Amino acid sequence: MQIAVISDTHNNIITLEKASQEIRFRGIKYLIHCGDVTFSHTLRACQDLHIFMVFGNGDVDQRAILEQLRSLNPESSAGQIQDFSLGGQRFFVAHGDTSRLIQTALSSGAYDWVLQGHTHRFKDELYGQTKWVNPGALGGKPADSVSFAVLDTVTKTIERIMLKEL
């Protein structure tokens, strides 16, 4: 199963729409957003996707974001963290501005995937048996190139998608 992972959109509708088009082109149905959408209307570009989202430090109106998510797809969810299973894998997602949550999840050994945003830097590391991933940023002031990631639960691999190359 392939799952798209994005983060730190910071209201950049253009890059989010470009990423969403690529996600749909690949036939991906699930999207994990690692936080910092900023304003709820930005999520309209993700219509018809099942979204697991965590709130970031830039997501001030969390209630509006959650309402927008649920109006786009009632199965979507948002919270301070996400802890769920999908495609036979266990996931922990947090924005990353509270690094203690990430470290606790990694140290527990309970997860196949620990996903985060916040730093705007791509990361694909193995921590014990856990894949630790940051997809990079779609908006704001990227410290790295604008990107998102596609993870594969079967091969346990990450593909970094550079938006400038699409």
CATH number at residue 26: 3.60.21.10
Q: Which two tokens mark 136? A: 């990079």
Band of residue 56 on the pLDDT scale cut at 50, 70, 90 = very high
Q: What is the rounded distance in angstroms from the CA atom of residue 147 to the CA atom of residue 122?
A: 8
Q: Is the pLDDT reported for residue 162 higher than 90?
A: yes
SS3 content of the chain, % helix, strand, coil (to 5): 25, 35, 40
The SS3 assignment for 123 reads strand
Per-residue pLDDT band at 72 (split at 50, 70, 90): very high
pLDDT of residue 144: 75
Name the residue type at position 145.
S
Q: How many structural domains does the chain have?
A: 1
Report how far residue 67's alpha carbon sits from residue 155's, in angstroms, rounded to the nearest whole number.
Answer: 34
Whether the model pTM is above 0.85: yes
Confidence of residue 119 (pLDDT cuts 50, 70, 90): very high
Q: List the one residue out of 87, 47, 92 whose CA is nearest residue 69.
A: 47
CA angle 142, 147, 150 (to 5 degrees): 145
- Convert the pLDDT of each residue in 134-155 to its tens digit: 999 999 887 778 999 999 999 9
Per-residue pLDDT, averaged over 8-24, amounts to 96
Structural domain boundaries enclosing 74: 2-165
Q: Which tokens go with 124?
A: 């694909």
> Burial of 2 by CB count in 10 Å (0-12 exposed, 13-18 middle, 19+ buried)?
middle
At residue 77, the pLDDT reads 97
